[in-house]
Structure 1
Amino acid sequence: MATMSIGKAWEEATAFVAREAALLFPVALLFVALPGLILQEMTPPQLQAWLAQPKADTIPAMPPGFGLAMVITILLIWFGSLALFALALRPGISVGEALRMSFARLPVLIGTALVAVGAVAALFVIAAVVGVAIALASKQMAAAVSMLLGFGAAGVVFYASIRLVLLNPVVIDGRLGVMDSLRRAWALTRGHFGRLFGFLVVVMLLSTIAGSAAQAIIGSLGGLVAGPDGARLAGGIAGAAVSAVVQVYMLVMLARLYRQALPQDVTDVFR
C-alpha cells in the first residue's frame, strides 16, 4: 500500500497554486463559483429556508425550470472540477487543453454518478423493505429497527463517499470506463479512510468559517451601499469567491494525494 502524506500534499499544492494561479483561479471562478452563485440567486426565499431546515411534510413548490437549472449547475461544476484536476495533474498544459480533456471525460464522470445514485437508491429500498417486513412481524420493534436501518444505510453512503474521493482525478487522468474508474478510485483509497476523512473535515470547516466571515463582512458593506438586496448579492459574491479559492487548494491537494496513492511504477511515468 502506498503512503499518503497530507503535509507533503499541502506543501506541493501551495507551491503549485502559487505558480499556476493565473490558470487555476479563472477556471474555478467561471465554472465552480459562478454557476453556484447564479443558482443561489435563482432559488426562491421559501426554498432557501427549507434547504436550511428541511422538513419532509413542508416541501415548498419548486419553480418551473429550477430542476433543470440545478442539473446544469452540477454539470458545469463537474466540468470545471475535471478541468482543474487536468491542470493539476498535467503541469504545462493550457486551459484550452484542460477544458477539452474535461469535456471528453465528463460522460464517464456522469456515468459513475448514475451508478452511485442507483446503488444508493437500491440500498435505501432494501432497507425500507426490510423495515416493512420487520414492522409486519413486530410493531414494537418497527421504529427502532427502521432508525437503525436508516443510520446504517447513511453510514454506508458516507463511507463510500470518502472511499471514492479520488474518483475525479482517476477519471481525468486515464481512459478507464465507468466501472473501472469506480474500482480504481476505491482501490487507491484502501487503508487511507481516516486520513482522507480528517482532511475533508478540516477543509469543510475552513471553507464554512471563511465563507461565512466573507459573506458577513462584505454583505454588511454591500448593505450600507445598496440595502438588503445589495447585502445579499455582495455577500453571495464574496462567499462564492472564497469557495472558489478553497476549492482550488482542495482539488490540487487531492490531485497530489492521488499521485501519492498511485503505485510507484505508475507515478514515475508522470515525473
Structure 2
Amino acid sequence: MTTMSIGKAWEEAVAFVAREASLLFPVALLFVALPGVILQEMTPPELQAWFAQPKADAIPAMPPGFAVAMLLTILLIWFGSLALFALALRPGISVGEALRLSFARLPVLIGTALVVVGAIAGIFAVALLLGVIFSLASKQLAALLGLLLGVGAVGLVLYASIRLVLLNPVVIDGQTGVMDSLRRAWALTRGHFWRLFGFLLLVMLLSTIVASVAQMIVGLLGSLVAGADGARIAGGIAGAAVSSIIQVYMLVMLARLYRQAVAV
C-alpha cells in the first residue's frame, strides 16, 4: 500500500499556490466561481426554495432552459477543474496549454461520469425492484427493507465517490480511456478511504462555514448600497469567490496526494 500524507500535501499545496497564484486563481474564478454565480442567478425562485428544503413529494418542474444551463455549468466546472489539475501536476505549463489539455481530456472525464451515474442508477433500480417485490408479501417488511437498501445505496455511493476522488488527476495526467482511468483511480486510493474521507469532510465543512460568513457579511454591505437584489448578488459573488479559493487549495492538495500515490 502506498504512503499518503495529508500534512505533507498541505505544506506542498500552500507553497505551490503561493508561487503560482497568478495562474491558478484566474482559472478558478473564470471557470469555477463565475459559472456557479450565473447559474444561481438563473435559478427560478421555486427551485431555490426546494434546494434549500428538499421535499420528495413536492419537486418543482425544472424549466428546459435551466436544465441546459445546469449541464453547461457542470461541464465548465469540470473543464476548469481539469485545467487546475494540469497546472498543479505540470509545473511550468502555461494557462493556454493547461486549457487545451483540459479540453482534450474532458471527453474521458464525461465518459467516466456516465459510467458512474449508470452504475448508481442500476443500484437504485435494483433496490427499488426489491422493495416492490417484498411489498407484495408484507408492507412492514417492504418498508424496513426499503430503509436498509436506501441507507446501503447512499453508503455505497459515498464510498465510491471517496475511492474515485483522484479520478480527475488520473484523467489529466495520463492518456488512458474511460475504464482504465476508473480502475487506476480506484486502485490508487486503496487503503486510504478514511484518511481521504476525513480530509474531504473537513474541506466541505470549512468551505461551507467560511463561504456562508463571507456571503452574509458582503450581502449585508450590498443591501446597504443596492437593497435586496444587491445583497443577493454581492453575497453570491463573495460566497462563490471564497469557495473557489478553498477549492484551489483542495485541488492542489489532491494533486499532491496523487503524486504521492503514483510515486511508488
TM-score, normalising length: structure 1: 0.96
Q: Which residue of 2 aligns with 1:5?
A: 5
Distance 2:257 2:71 in 1: 29
* Structure 1 residue 263 displacement after superposition: 4.0
In structure 1, the residue matched to 2:21 is 21
Task: Report the counterpart of residue 235 of structure 2 in structure 1.
Answer: 235
How many Å separate the matches in 1 of 2:244 and 2:39? 15
Q: How far apart are 1:45 and its partner, in Å?
A: 1.4
Matches of 2:199 and 2:51, distance apart in 1: 26
User: Partners in 1 of 2:127 and 2:98 — Cα distance?
Assistant: 42
- Take 2:140 and 2:210, find their aligned partners in 1: how far apart are those partners? 47
**How many angstroms apart in 2 are the aligned matches of 1:189 and 1:116?**
17
The equivalent residue for 2:170 is 170
Match of 1:267 in 2: none
SS at match of 1:56: coil
Task: Work out the CA distance in 1 between the residues paired with 2:75 and 2:139.
Answer: 44
Partner of 2:94: 94
Partner of 1:110: 110
Using the alignment, how far apart are the partners of 2:219 and 2:180 within structure 1? 45
**Equivalent residue for 1:185?**
185
Specify the SS of the correspondent of 2:39: helix
- C-alpha distance in structure 2 between counterparts of 1:61 and 1:148, whole Å: 29
- In the TM superposition, what is the alpha-carbon distance from 1:54 to its structure 2 partner? 1.0
Separation in structure 2 between the aligned mates of residue 86 and residue 219 of structure 1, nearest angstrom:
34
Task: Quote the residue 1:138 is aligned against.
Answer: 138
Identity %: 80
In structure 2, the partner of 1:209 is 209
Superposition map of 1:34-183 within 5 A: 34-183=34-183
SS at match of 2:136: helix
Report the Cα distance in structure 2 between the residues aligned to 1:118 and 1:125, rounded to whole angstroms.
10
Letter in structure 2 aligned against 1:69: A
> What RMSD over aligned residues (CA atoms) do the two structures have, in Å?
0.7
The runs of 5 or more residues in structure 1 that have no matched partner are 265-271
Q: Which amino acid aligns with 1:217?
A: I
Number of corresponding residues: 264
Cα deviation code 1:144-166 (max 9, x no counterpart): 11110111111101100000000
CA distance in 1, matches of 2:231, 2:95: 34
Counterpart of 1:77, as a letter, is I
Unaligned 5+ residue runs, structure 2?
none
Secondary structure (helix, strand or coil) at the match of 1:246 reads helix
Residue identity matched to 1:16? F
Paired with 1:236 and 1:139, the residues of 2 have a C-alpha distance of 46
Q: Displacement of 1:136 after TM fit?
A: 1.4
User: What does the per-residue CA deviation read over 1:225-254, in whole Å, with 9 as the maximum and x for residues that have no partner?
Assistant: 000000000000100110110110000000
SS at match of 1:58: coil
Q: How many Å separate the matches in 2 of 1:47 and 1:167? A: 31
Residues in 2 aligned to 1:146 and 1:244: alpha-carbon distance in whole angstroms: 38
DSSP 3-state at the match of 1:2: coil
Once superposed, which parts of structure 1, at least 4 consecutive aligned residues long, lie more than 2 Å away? Answer: 137-140
Q: Distance in 1 between matches of 2:84 and 2:45?
A: 32
Q: CA deviation at 1:138?
A: 2.4
Q: 1:205 Cα deviation (Å)?
A: 0.7
- SS of 2:57's partner is helix
* Residue number in structure 2 paired with 1:268: none
